[in-house]
Amino acid sequence: MTTEYIHSDTTLFVAGVDEVARGTFIGPVVAACVVLPRVITDDKFKQIKDSKKLSEKKRTELALFIKENAITYGIGTASVEEIDSINILHATMKAMHRAIDEAYKKHSFDKLLIDGQYFKGYTPLEWMNYSITNVSRKATCIIYRLLLPRLLRKITIRRL
């Protein structure tokens, strides 16, 4: 399934889901689920290419912009205790499910687009799920959702 096909139906709301900090040794895993407007006209969105390459100031500015302009978004975390108890992969799935649930409570959506190959689907709402590896450069909703968990995780780590 290509991202072009997923985005070709402009009547659907597509949620992008991803996590940060799965490979680190400190702090929680943080995931985000973001649904952007079907038509993006603001040039500020075009400034985002790769959240890792942005300065901290720019990342913070754009994350706040996304929160204000997204159709819906949700942030989910899995604590260090959960990671130790159920392993990093299962903790990551929990964080993703929490982000999806939070976003869906605010506004429904039709499909999930997940960056990665290990997402097993999410049966409570029986969505069509697409797990795509290396999708960050290809799908707009995946690019934008990364800014939110990166920002939240940085704040959490600073508190530690």
The pLDDT tens digits for 16-68 are 888 887 766 788 998 888 888 877 777 776 666 666 677 878 878 888 888 88
Establish if 8 belongs to a structural domain. Answer: no
Establish if 112 belongs to a structural domain. Answer: yes
Establish if 3 belongs to a structural domain. Answer: no
Establish if 111 belongs to a structural domain. Answer: yes
pLDDT at 140 over 60: no
Into how many domains does the chain fold? 1
What's the pLDDT at 85?
95
Establish if 28 belongs to a structural domain. Answer: yes
Contact 33, 17 (CB under 8 A): yes
Q: What is the DSSP letter of 104?
A: H
pLDDT (tens digit per residue) in 88-128: 999 999 999 999 999 999 998 887 877 667 777 665 554 55
What's the pLDDT at 150?
64
Establish if 9 belongs to a structural domain. Answer: no
Please give the residue range of the domain that contains residue 71.
14-158
Q: Where residue 137 falls among pLDDT bands split at 50, 70, 90?
A: very low
Establish if 92 belongs to a structural domain. Answer: yes
The CATH number that applies at residue 148 is 3.30.420.10
Distances (CA, A) of 54 to 9, 51, 70, 133, 142: 31, 5, 20, 22, 16
Establish if 114 belongs to a structural domain. Answer: yes
What's the pLDDT at 1?
37
Q: How many helices (H) and strands (E) does the chain have?
A: 7, 5
Token pair of 101 as six digits: 């649930």
